[in-house]
Amino acid sequence: MDHFLYKNGTLHAEDVPISEIAAEVGTPFYVYSAATLTRHYHLFTEALSPLPHMVCFAIKSLSNVAVLKLLGDLGAGMDVVSGGEYRRARAAGVPGNRIVFSGVGKTRDEMRLALTGGIRQFNVESEPELHALSEVATSLGLTAPITIRVNPDVDAKTHAKIATGKSENKFGIPIARAREVYAEAARLPGIEVIGVDVHIGSQLTDLAPFEQAYLKVADLTRQLRADGHDIRRLDLGGGLGIPYTRSNEAPPLPLDYGALIKRTVGDLGCEIEIEPGRLISGNAGLLVASVVYVKNGEGRDFLILDAAMNDLVRPSMYDAHHDIVPVVEPAAATEAAVYDVVGPVCETGDTFAKARPVAPMHEGDLVAFRSAGAYGAVMASEYNTRPLVPEVLVKGDHFAVIRQRPTFDEILNRDTIPEWL
């Protein structure tokens, strides 16, 4: 469910007409619904109750500081994968004891940043990282709380570029070697073993891979406790998918996911962490664009927008589907036209959809890409010297720009011409 509905013939974000935002901000822009973000966060907290738990929002899906503050004020923790994301979480007012540091390539500088600024835990992904963290923590006279991310060799049955739990993926330590690596961690100075971490991929639409992975984690937890480790926290990752189309085929609900967690690991007495990103933010955002031209081609018509692949890369990168809808609601009897929906970038890959039925459109009309809140603005670039898209947050009947569109002077002034030129 989201809060983007037609009212009085025009698409609204909660109680704000999209056309009103477009008139003030210009297109393209991203718009997020505070009510949707709030609702989706609470779906997870309710699904895990009464287990002791923390829902850590995966910042990589949507990293605007205003959004992080909204979620942090609700009690969310944060899952970060870089020093920059750590800084964003702290800038949003999230305390260090609610920040989990994931990622395969943590640098020593990032370790120092988190250790001195406060951290809930590091999810360690390799033996070299484990030894580096021990060295950094010891040099600071501090102790680093860790889980070790295990790779359970489970096929998440998702897109190859977002699968993370198979043996050929770069993530984690093979689960068959986990006891050996945990023993090494227990011997190292500056390291405190507190739990186990697993994450098998993103946009999962079936609970079966989760169940396979979590049962393996449950067995490992029992083995590690028998080995003398105080395993008191299980980080189960994220990855629950969202519906990108308005079809009847919907991914599992957070309530079903929570029941699975209780069934597979609920008897272990561990605090449960999960790290959803897409399910909280995905359907909480739209990308809004204007039609530049309607071009009649050879055997096909093109809807050319002012948004491009640099603004929303998912269709080009993942062949991802986003529903594309007109901001002005078409009449019930309107017959759809069929367009290739494209952007202005000089690449054939700058295509959002092929042969997509959409209500007949005209130059200047507004369209909205649904389910664009996750991996939209965060993956945008200034390719073709196109300014980054502004971001807008709506709450009820008012809105605020939470990231301005940079001016061309601001973009150009970041470049420096050396004296010898």
DSSP at 335: P
Determine if residue 93 is labeled as part of a ligand binding site: no
Q: Tell me whether residue 278 is annotated as binding.
A: yes
**Is residue 184 a contact partner of residue 163, using CB atoms and an 8 Å limit?**
no
Token pair of 164 as six digits: 């993370």
344 is known to lie in a ligand binding site: no
DSSP string covering 202-264:
SSB--SHHHHHHHHHHHHHHHHHHHTT----EEE----B---SSSSS--PPPHHHHHHHHHHH
On whether 85 is known to bind a ligand per the annotation, the reply is no
Residue 318 annotated in ligand binding = yes
Strand partners, 201: 163
Do the annotations mark residue 149 as ligand-binding? no
Residues 6+ apart with CB under 8 A from 259: 47
Handedness of CA 152, 155, 160, 162 (dihedral sign): negative
Question: Is 414 annotated as belonging to a binding site?
Answer: no
Known catalytic residues are 346
E strand or H helix at 25: helix 18-25
**391 beta partners:** 30, 403
Residues 370, 168: Cα–Cα separation, whole Å: 33
Nearest to 150 by CA among 184, 183, 124: 124
Helical H segments across 27-165, by residue range: 34-48, 65-74, 83-91, 108-117, 127-140
- By the 8 A CB rule, do 42 and 71 touch? no
Cα distances (Å, whole numbers) of residue 224 to 39, 41, 386: 37, 32, 52
DSSP 8-state assignment for residue 152: -
Q: Is 243 annotated as a binding residue?
A: no
CB proximity list for 299: less than 8 A, separation 6 or greater: none
Distance CA 281, CA 368 (A): 16
Query: Minimal CA–CA distance to 70: which of 59, 82, 85, 54?
Result: 59
Residue among 63, 16, 22 at smallest CA distance from 306: 22
Asked if residue 347 belongs to a known ligand binding site, the reply is yes
Residues of each annotated binding site? 239, 275-278, 314, 318, 347, 375
Binding residues for substrate: 278, 314, 318, 347, 375
Binding site residue list for pyridoxal 5'-phosphate: 239, 275-278, 375
